[in-house]
Structure 1
Amino acid sequence: MSIRNKLLIFIPLLVLLMNLVTYFLFQSGTIVQESYDLIMGRVLKYKETAEAAEDSLKAVYSYLLHPTEDMKTVAAGKLTQISALHSSLMETGAVPPLASSLTGYGNMIQTLLSLEQQSLAAAENGKASEAFSHYLEAEKTVSFIRSEGQRLVEGELDYYRPVYRSIQADNAHLYKLGVAVFALITTLSIVVALWISRSITAPVSALVRSADSVSKGNLDTVLPDGGKDELAALSSAFNKMLAGLKESIEKDREIAEKEQLVKTLELRALQSQINPHFLYNTLNALSKLALLEDAEKTSDLIVSMSSFLRYNLQNLDRQVPLRSELEHVKEYIRLQQARFRDRVEFRLDIEEKALDVRVPSLTLQPIIENAFVHGIAHMESGAVISLIVREDTSDTKIIISDNGQGMTEEIREALLSRSQSVQAPGAPGPQASGQTKTGGRSTSTGLGTRNVFRRLELVYGREDLVQISSQPGKGTTVMLTIPARRSGINSVSADDSR
């Protein structure tokens, strides 16, 4: 749920709940107030009626003593007032136990009104004795009205005493309920506020901590990916940004490592020569001189040596057809056969259609060289090195094997992991550093197998392209897998045609 939806849903719900509780309390208070008004209204009307009866009797008496027009008007007004109170009291009614008493009370008020009117009429006609006689009767009636009114008040109070106590209990209950509801709403408001604020501040704090960690170089920070609000989307975008950044850094690192490796290979190759052009010219001159002296084999070896060195000193930052690599290996074999003669047999089993696949420059020769130097160099006879090239449906297999001294499992695993510290002999490629010891001296074997394996990994972006099987005394077999389709892989160079 988005932050905006949280605010639009929970805050109005909270306000609505508060309004409903307030309305409920207001309605309960209104009911209680109506009950109070009903009780007190009847009691007050009884009291007002009794007081009005006494006032009207006094007004009549004053008129009898001083029969003036003003006194008559006052007395008539008092009679009208008591008549109105009588009507109102009868409309209000009484509680069921006092219904008959209320009727008698009303009759007494009517009797009082009649006696007072007769007294006023007799006084107005000059019949003083008759007027005072009616007045005395009215005075007795007022006394009855007073006592009956007091009895009705007490009856009402007795009847409503349980109701009053119930109202008091309801008031106490409402008070407690109001306190409880206030506490509940306050707690609920705090919980909702904390929940909404935490849903905002917690992801922001985590994002700040992650950004600070990233600024210190730690790219392994991962924000928790949960929720559906805007901050969750921001956290997801931050994680994707970090993943993209790590991928970009890894690609840059691989490119830098590849370039450094190529530069190192070129430097090692160039360091073995003082002046390549001078060496080429000298070898060509020696070849021609050998021809002039009818030493054709010597001339062929010099030409092979020249071609071999020229290929080794070319720009290594490129890919070449496997056919070119095979020709370079053949030149190297000619040179080695001149040295080993019949001690070693080299076997080729090549599928012609597989030779057009492109591979990194100087991929095969370093492995063949290590097979000679580390695998079969100690053998006096019967040494065999074979090179097999096969094309599968999805890739090309290159298998290089020898029947030399082999290598231990520890060395084999170290070569596959491209360890920097493999120093035991083996074949092909027992030393990742490309160094071998001959006669107590350290001599270069050219390009080490470690560099070959690493270049294949960088070029094709895979780590399963090399397999080595070997046992001490039983020879070694290296199988290289060259993917037939290489779309989207790393390239050794932007220009493969050089």
Structure 2
Amino acid sequence: MTTIQKKIWLLVSVVLLIMGVIWLTLTYYNQKTQEQSNEILQRYLRMNEVTSASQQMITDLNNFLLNPTINQKKQVERSIHHIEEVQQDVAQLRNAENEFSVTNYIHLIDSLIETTNRSIMFSEEQEMEGSTNEFNEANRISKYISEMTLTILDRELKTYNLVYRDIIKQSEELEKLGIWLLLLITVVLLLATYWFSLSITRPIHQLTRAANELSKGRFNEQIQVKSNDEIAFLAKTFDEMRININDLIVEIQQKAQLEHELQQSKLLLKESQLKSLQSQINPHFLFNTLNTLSKKAYLDGAEETSDLLVSVAGLLRYNLKRIDRSVTLFEEVIVLNQYMEIQKARFTDRLKFESYIDESCLHVKIPGLTLQPIIENAVIHAIEPEEDGGTIFFSIKKNGAWIIIEIEDSGKGMSQEKMEQLLKGRIVPSDGHSTGIGFQNVVKRLELFYGMENLVTIDSQEGRGTKVIIQIPNSLEEQYHDEASNC
């Protein structure tokens, strides 16, 4: 993990590296220019040293001739030794351009030394005329050396004119290089500073946005911070805290939902038990009576009356015993047909019932007494109030993984507000026609049975009828059916 302290040291290292590179570059160019300048200067100094040495030697020789002592002779010998050293230095200045001139220059120095030695020799032999002639010759050679020095220096100046210009040009380029390096340093430092600040501020901004989202109660969004320093560790810890809080909230919601569903189940159970108690007034006596009347009507030739009594007995038996358990759609359809036979006998031609049933769907489990209350609502609110009656359409069909049950009537329909009230259980029947299993009761039992919501929808408009649509899963595990049926 890269820490913020490491990032700071990295930035300092980059700055030091750039400064080091600039220092080395400037030092290199400065050293190179200085070496060229020193080389040329040394050439001039050596040439000038020859002139000075030759003149000094003439002076020392003159002093010796005027006062031929041992000390004066030693001084002349030192001058000769010095000019010989200078001669060796001048020999190193020889190149292709000045080889001829420097060679003659060296020969002149040799001639000066020889003439000086002969003058000393003639002086020691007391040949004053010869000594004076040699001195005059040495003085002439010294002057010629001075003139030739100036000539060679002038030629050197012309030869190194381009070198001087190169040095000036290099100085100008070095100045430009310094400006460009200054700009480069500025740009690099700005970029490095921006990158460094961004690597710290961006994760902090991301963490701030995540904190704002959490303050708004949005605990489902993951906290992601793109960093590899201490801020990333802080973000990871912050995300773990978010997960723990979210899990706690979900757990509380689930507990509240379970408590709500348990309360609803208790209310539904109490309601069903109450309705069951109200309707179970000596049921065996009532069933036996209806069966007796059915047989009596059949013996008397009233077959329709007999069938009607059988339907009433079957419907009553189903209502009393099937509400607390799951049944198949096949059983629901049978009792639905029995109910419609009773209503057709009541309304005769005023009631028309049309159905379409996909028999491959009839094996599916469903809570008992689910379809009859919805059909009953359609009869009460769509058929009974109309003088000419109406039509009820019933269908069961398969749609992929779902079974779609549709119950549609040709009544006057209802408003959007009334549909919402019906789905929320705010409309309570007051005319005594209902079986006691209200519409909201059916909706709740379906949700509890399948563990899903929004299984029932209503499509209606005022003046064009009402359609109730129930969608249920095509298959459920038998164990789940058993557990749901025991709720």
Q: Which of 357, 366, 382 is equivalent to 1:375? A: 382
Secondary structure of 1:496's aligned partner: helix
Query: What's the counterpart of residue 47 of structure 1?
Result: 48
The aligned amino acid for 2:472 is: I
Shift in CA distance, 481/444, structure 1 to aligned 2, threshold 3 Å: closer
CA contact (8 A) 1:385 1:400 kept: yes
Q: Which residue of 1 aligns with 2:285?
A: 288
Report the Cα offset of residue 113 of structure 1: 1.0
Cα distance in 2 for partners of 1:494, 1:111 equals 136
Aligned counterpart in structure 1 of residue 319 of structure 2, from 308, 312, 315: 308
- 1:481 is matched with 471
- Match of 1:92, SS state, is coil
Going from structure 1 to structure 2, the CA distance change for 1:363 and 1:124 (only over 3 Å counts) comes to: farther
Number of aligned residue pairs = 465
CA 1:477 to 1:294, structure 2 compared with 1: closer, same or farther past 3 Å? closer
Q: Which residue of 2 aligns with 1:88?
A: 89
- 1:44 shift after superposition: 0.4
Aligned counterparts of 1:466 and 1:431: Cα–Cα separation in 2: 8
In 2, Cα distance between the equivalents of 1:236 and 1:339?
Answer: 73
Q: Deviations over 1:379-437 (max 9, x none)?
A: 456455454334566543323233333346x56xx84xxx4xx4xxxxxxx66535156
CA gap of 1:452–1:160, structure 2 versus 1, over 3 A, is same
Map of 1:340-419 to 2, 5 A cutoff? 342=348, 344=351, 350-359=357-366, 363-379=370-386, 382-391=389-398, 394-407=401-414, 410=416, 415=419, 419=420
Amino acid in the other structure paired with 2:427:
Q
Give the corresponding residue for 2:443.
452
1:108-123 aligned at under 5 Å gives the runs 108-123=108-123
3-state SS, counterpart of residue 93 of structure 1: coil
Contact 1:434 1:445 (8 Å CA) reproduced: no
SS at match of 2:183: helix
User: 2:285 is matched by which residue type in structure 1?
Assistant: K
Alignment partners' CA distance in 2, 1:262 and 1:362: 21
Q: How far off is 1:49 after superposition?
A: 1.0
**What's the CA shift for 1:187?**
1.6
**Residues 213-251 of structure 1: CA deviation (Å, up to 9, x unaligned):** 3144134868899x999999x999999998999899789
What's the secondary structure of 1:435's corresponding residue?
Answer: coil
**Cα distance, 1:191 vs structure 2:** 1.0
Name the stretch that deviates more: 147-156 or 84-93. Answer: 147-156
State the alpha-carbon separation in 2 of the partners of residues 112 and 404 from structure 1: 145
Query: In structure 1, what is the Cα distance between the partners aligned to 2:482 and 2:166?
Result: 97
In the other structure, the counterpart of 1:427 is none
Identical residues among aligned pairs (%) = 24
Cα 1:380–1:258 shift into 2, 3 Å: farther
Instruction: Provide the C-alpha distance between the structure 2 equivalents of 1:373 and 1:237, rounded to a whole number of angstroms.
Output: 62
Shift of 1:301: 6.3
Q: Tell me which amino acid in the other structure corresponds to 2:329.
A: L
Aligned to 1:426: none
Aligned pairs for 1:176-191 within 5 A: 176-191=176-191
CA separation of 1:405/1:276 partners in 2, compared to 1, >3 Å: closer, same or farther? closer
Cα distance between partner residues in 1 of 2:95 and 2:188? 48
Q: Structure 2: any 5+ residue segments left out of the alignment?
A: 295-308
SS at match of 2:396: strand
Aligned pairs for 1:65-76 (under 5 A) are: 65-68=67-70, 72-76=73-77
RMSD: 5.6
Cα distance per residue 1:153-211 (max 9 Å; x no partner): 45544664665355234313312321321221232232133135414531442133213
The TM-score with structure 2 as length reference comes to 0.70
SS of alignment partner, residue 191 of structure 1: helix
Letter in 2 for 1:189: L
Instruction: Render the CA deviation track for 1:66-114: whole Å, top value 9, x for unaligned.
Output: 442x655553343233123223313313795x77654554343222111
Letter in 1 for 2:483: D
User: What does 1:241-260 align with in structure 2 at a 5 Å threshold?
Assistant: 260=260
Name structure 1 gaps, 5 residues minimum.
423-429
Equivalent AA in structure 1 for residue 191 of structure 2: V
Task: Note closer, same or farther for the CA distance 1:158–1:397 as it changes in structure 2 (3 Å cut).
Answer: closer
Q: Secondary structure at the match of 1:46?
A: helix
Please list, as runs of the form range in 1=range in 2, the aligned pairs for 1:213-232 lying within 5 A after superposition.
Answer: 213-219=213-219
Q: How far did 1:40 drift?
A: 0.7
Amino acid at match of 2:484: D
Q: C-alpha deviations, 1:350-380, integer Å up to 9, x for none?
A: 5554222134666434422422333223145
For 1:287 and 1:450, locate their aligned partners in 2 and report how far apart those are by CA, in whole Å: 27
Secondary structure at the residue paired with 2:178?
A: helix
Please give the alpha-carbon distance, in whole angstroms, between the structure 2 residues aligned to 1:36 and 1:206: 61
Contact 1:283–1:303 (Cα < 8 Å) also in 2: no
1: CA distance between counterparts of 2:11 and 2:367? Answer: 65
In terms of fraction of residues, the more helix-rich structure is: 2
Which digits, 9 at most, give the CA deviation of each residue in 1:8-39, with x for residues without a partner? Answer: x9999998877766555444334422331232
Residue 205 (str. 1) matches residue 205 (str. 2)? yes
Tell me the distance in 1 between the aligned counterparts of 2:446 and 2:12.
Answer: 63
Q: Return the alpha-carbon distance in structure 2 between the equivalents of residues 486 and 121 of structure 1.
A: 140
SS at 2:280 equivalent: helix
Aligned position for 1:435: 427
Indicate the SS of the match to 2:377. Answer: helix
